[in-house]
Structure 1
Amino acid sequence: MSATADAMIAFLKYKDIKHESYSIPHDYSHIKELIFYQNDKVLEKFLRQIPKNHKVICFTKSSAKAFKLHDTFKDSMFVCSPSGTASEKKYMNKEKVSKMLIDEKFDEQFIFSTSTLDNGINLKDKQIKYVVVDIMDVDVLIQCLGRKRIIDQSDKVTVIIKDTSNKMLNKLIRDCNRQIEPALYLQEHGASSYVQKYKKQSNRIIYDRPVNNEVGYDKAINDLMFFKEIYDKQFFEQVASEKNGYMNYIKTKLQQDVYTILDDTYEKADITDYLEAIIGKRLYKEEQTELIKKVDLRDGRGRQQKDVEQFNIYFQKNSLPYNINNDSKINKDRRRRLDNGDANPNYNKRYWILAKHIVFD
């Protein structure tokens, strides 16, 4: 994830290099809705529900992931770099890709592509209603969104983006530090000490430089790449400093007021289906454990909650019309025998009962 243009301008200013910069205003008014997702399976479930007359462009970070989706969704086209090293490139239908480039549209419902499709390609088709991007680099992400060309004011698109969690951002910060710290050590202690300390660690911003009038090489720092690592680290730290930092950053970048999280929608739907199936049933210890696992309610420290009161608060806060009754005086199975005459294995055991409220508008 990066902001390359911003970083380059900052570097020129840092080096006091004269330059001219021009800002072209972006218009994202064609975005109908901004959606984020976290789980790949949730995205697949969503894609299966898209109407057949709506088309989708999906960009992924790897050809392997793009091909896997192509293999899952039969009415699709797979695109990757024909000159790259990916083994999946042999599965690309070059004739279909060429036709798409000429027509600036495609016949299939889905395109699953790597970012190779972001390089100056235009797709003009009002049937393209969704653009999905699973690419972390912000600059590439923006380029991918631009492949769908807007025809007129009625041409709207739903943008769906893979979230980058704060946990992942912190990993990126650590990756930056692994590049920055050796460079700082080289600056302070010189090449000999650097080689001794970091001889087994590769570094993308330090390179071997021929020594003038001597045989051999010296260690040098690529100033631009060094600056970029520092810039990226500060950027990641800024984004990770707030909850849902990446989603909020992209929301602002795309000039949107709100966004939704696909996982929350499907999680709520799955839980509702489960709860509907157990309404009015006696939930003994085993069934209680299943409910606890299914809802998976956790506190701020990640501890799974098992208390009925906490579940009822959760239902209320999430507008779920359910309530668990576990009255110790009433909810005790007094039946010695079941309706069919068999001995009741749950005799004298306590149970919960899930009730559903009638919601009035």
Structure 2
Amino acid sequence: MANSKREKTRVTDIIKPEDISKWKPNNNVLISSPMGAGKSYFCKNTLYDIAKKTHGKILMLIHRSNCVEQFKYEIDTDGKADVIEVITYQSLEYSKLHNTNKFNLSDYMFVVCDEFHYFFNDSSFNNKTAVSFKMIMSNTDSIHVFMSATGEHMARYMKKYIKDNKLEDAIEYEIPFDFSFIRELTFFHKDVTMEEFLKEGIKKGDKGIFFIQSAEKAYKLYSKYKKYCVFNCSSNNSKYYEYVDKDKIKQILMNQRFEEQFLITTSCFDAGINIIDTDVKHIVIDIVDIGSLIQCMGRKRIQNEEDKVSIYIKIINNQKLAGLKRSMEQKIEMADFYMQNGYSVEKLIEKYPMQNDINNILYDDLMKDENGNIIPNSYTKVINEPMYFKKKEDIADYSLMLEKYGKFGYCKYLAATFGFIDEETGSYTYRMINEEYELEDYLRKMVHDEVVLLQLRDRSELIKKINAKQDGKLLKKAGTLNKVLEEREIEYRIKEFSTTRYIQDENGNKKKKVYKSAWKIVPF
């Protein structure tokens, strides 16, 4: 592992009060720093002191409601609610869309966008992130401070937005990432392996956190081991939120630790929450989005050089990466056509008659004149730019994993990001768990018994055992199945060959029959 130890740099080390004194209203300040580098401390102290002296106000925008409660508690405890107001991005969007005029951004000296990757990451399930973004960017009376540990993609979009709208260049500050807190990096394939991790942890008395994208999957795991676990999911989840112990979650937010052996949560805890507990040694992650995945890793706040964690990540194999890439390309298809054809609504309707964009990347909006007044009975199609650019960035990431890194592209990409690569040899130092014991035993027996599968009906058991699917359907071609076996690091392959058999009919006569594409399993 190539990570090197270094003295930890904090935001207050790179941004001094004299730097802030040079910021002006309508400036956009981008702060990129690792989790735990003191972004919140910087706001609650350095920015607070400056705003307080000038009788200014600070608006803190946070993207998770439970994080708002935690931050409000800290602000109140520190006696700083006189200057700092904390709300969610979603409440800002609601006020704009419903014309409540509840928030006037011009009232604030600083508008701080915490975890500003929100505009991108949450756009996959909240098509209104563009509303709060445009509100902030169109406000010329405040200094806009954008902070994130994983805001690289959003920062690229912001720079394009700034250039397109002829705004002053962003002021940028960056602290390099340091993933030396990762003791070991492990990848696994199957959901059942998470349960094995849990059972092993219970035996050893270890503490850990499970981040699982699916609330259903997270709850099912929790329900088997309630005695050892605490469960959390979004309050918006009507099916599973009833099983959340709200008092326990509140205590976790306040105390920044949990007393059970394991916290099992969805990505609703992917940001904002801090876990300060050197006994937490393991973090298991089953989340697709890379930015959210990295945020999950940062929920445990590292206390010293000896405070390290083992990270376990569910694999996305190359076949699924290709599927995700294809899915993203399909989602932006209508928006691409619209842009490529001069934003012509007529051409869009001709190409896609009687169709709406189900992904909400394209939406209807009222037309306005040069003074911003609504033109009666007129509307047009508008592209939700944060959502569109997020999909484009995802496509680029998936392409990179597939084309640059090849076999196990997802694992190699993350290993390179986290420093699990030997720079001299170019070899990766992550660990991969082999979970295909049953399949390997089955294939080994087929080789030993010299089984030959002559026809399609003979292959059904093998195909079911491999259980490789695309769009919910079992894959059945030898070449495709061999790629799956290769991706899973299984040392057997399907050999397709021509063979002859003599078939005896009901009269006892033997007839020669040629099978042009028989299968057999061979070691690889």
Shift in Å at residue 300 of structure 1?
6.0
C-alpha spacing 1:13/1:96, structure 2 compared with 1 (3 Å):
closer
Mapped to 1, the partners of 2:319 and 2:157 lie a distance apart of 28
**Contact 2:194/2:284 (CA < 8 Å) preserved in 1?**
no
C-alpha spacing 1:173/1:126, structure 2 compared with 1 (3 Å):
same
1:302 paired residue number: 481
Q: 1:71 is matched with which residue: 197, 220, 223?
A: 223
TM-score (norm 1): 0.71
Mapped to 2, the partners of 1:128 and 1:217 lie a distance apart of 54
Mapped to 2, the partners of 1:4 and 1:143 lie a distance apart of 7
C-alpha spacing 1:104/1:223, structure 2 compared with 1 (3 Å):
closer
1:210 paired residue number: 366
Shift in Å at residue 206 of structure 1?
1.3
Q: Are 1:165 and 2:320 matched, yes or no? A: no
**Contact 1:56/1:128 (CA < 8 Å) preserved in 2?**
yes
**Contact 2:439/2:465 (CA < 8 Å) preserved in 1?**
no
Letter in 2 for 1:248: K
2:199 paired residue number: 48
Q: Are 1:250 and 2:414 matched, yes or no? A: yes
Mapped to 2, the partners of 1:314 and 1:223 lie a distance apart of 46
**Contact 1:52/1:109 (CA < 8 Å) preserved in 2?**
no
**Contact 1:118/1:143 (CA < 8 Å) preserved in 2?**
yes
2:292 paired residue number: 140
Mapped to 1, the partners of 2:491 and 2:332 lie a distance apart of 45
2:264 paired residue number: 112
Q: 1:6 is matched with which residue: 152, 156, 164?
A: 152
Q: Are 1:27 and 2:178 matched, yes or no? A: yes
Shift in Å at residue 32 of structure 1?
1.0
C-alpha distance after superposition, 1:103-136 (max 9, x if no partner): 3222221111011223321112222111011111
Shift in Å at residue 211 of structure 1?
2.5
**Contact 2:283/2:309 (CA < 8 Å) preserved in 1?**
yes
Please show how residues 330-345 of structure 1 align to structure 2 within 5 Å: none
C-alpha spacing 1:125/1:303, structure 2 compared with 1 (3 Å):
closer
Of stretches 192-201 and 232-241 in structure 1, the one that deviates more from structure 2 is 192-201
C-alpha spacing 1:124/1:177, structure 2 compared with 1 (3 Å):
same
Q: Residue 275 of structure 2 aligns to a residue in which SS? A: coil
2:430 paired residue number: 259
Q: 5+ residue gaps in structure 2?
A: 1-119, 122-148, 369-374, 422-428, 452-457, 467-476, 484-489, 493-524
C-alpha spacing 1:158/1:207, structure 2 compared with 1 (3 Å):
same
Q: Which has the larger share of strand?
A: 2
Q: Alpha carbon RMSD of aligned pairs, Å?
A: 3.5
Mapped to 1, the partners of 2:287 and 2:480 lie a distance apart of 30
2:349 paired residue number: 195
Of stretches 31-40 and 208-217 in structure 1, the one that deviates more from structure 2 is 208-217
**Contact 2:150/2:294 (CA < 8 Å) preserved in 1?**
no
**Contact 1:179/1:204 (CA < 8 Å) preserved in 2?**
no
Mapped to 2, the partners of 1:301 and 1:162 lie a distance apart of 22
**Contact 2:150/2:295 (CA < 8 Å) preserved in 1?**
no
C-alpha distance after superposition, 1:14-55 (max 9, x if no partner): 352511222212222121110111111122223212244201
C-alpha distance after superposition, 1:137-196 (max 9, x if no partner): 111111111111222222221100111222222222222222332123223161023124
Shift in Å at residue 284 of structure 1?
9.8
Of stretches 104-113 and 182-191 in structure 1, the one that deviates more from structure 2 is 182-191
Comparing both chains, which one has the higher relative contact order based on Cα–Cα distances under 8 Å and sequence gaps of 6 or more? 1
**Contact 2:363/2:382 (CA < 8 Å) preserved in 1?**
yes
Mapped to 1, the partners of 2:335 and 2:150 lie a distance apart of 21
**Contact 1:59/1:133 (CA < 8 Å) preserved in 2?**
yes
C-alpha spacing 1:86/1:133, structure 2 compared with 1 (3 Å):
farther
**Contact 1:63/1:86 (CA < 8 Å) preserved in 2?**
no
Shift in Å at residue 301 of structure 1?
5.2
Mapped to 1, the partners of 2:281 and 2:301 lie a distance apart of 11
Shift in Å at residue 204 of structure 1?
2.3
**Contact 1:53/1:127 (CA < 8 Å) preserved in 2?**
no
**Contact 2:207/2:282 (CA < 8 Å) preserved in 1?**
yes
C-alpha spacing 1:270/1:150, structure 2 compared with 1 (3 Å):
farther
1:341 paired residue number: none
**Contact 1:271/1:295 (CA < 8 Å) preserved in 2?**
no
Mapped to 1, the partners of 2:206 and 2:215 lie a distance apart of 24
Letter in 1 for 2:153: A
Letter in 2 for 1:302: L
2:275 paired residue number: 123
Shift in Å at residue 205 of structure 1?
2.0
Letter in 1 for 2:364: D
Mapped to 1, the partners of 2:277 and 2:176 lie a distance apart of 24
C-alpha distance after superposition, 1:216-265 (max 9, x if no partner): 31112234433333232222211122221111111122222311112x1x
Please show how residues 270-309 of structure 1 align to structure 2 within 5 Å: 302=481
C-alpha spacing 1:299/1:219, structure 2 compared with 1 (3 Å):
closer
Letter in 2 for 1:191: V
Mapped to 1, the partners of 2:184 and 2:198 lie a distance apart of 15
C-alpha spacing 1:300/1:177, structure 2 compared with 1 (3 Å):
closer
C-alpha distance after superposition, 1:273-301 (max 9, x if no partner): x99xx9xxx9798xxx9xx96997x9865
Mapped to 1, the partners of 2:383 and 2:345 lie a distance apart of 11
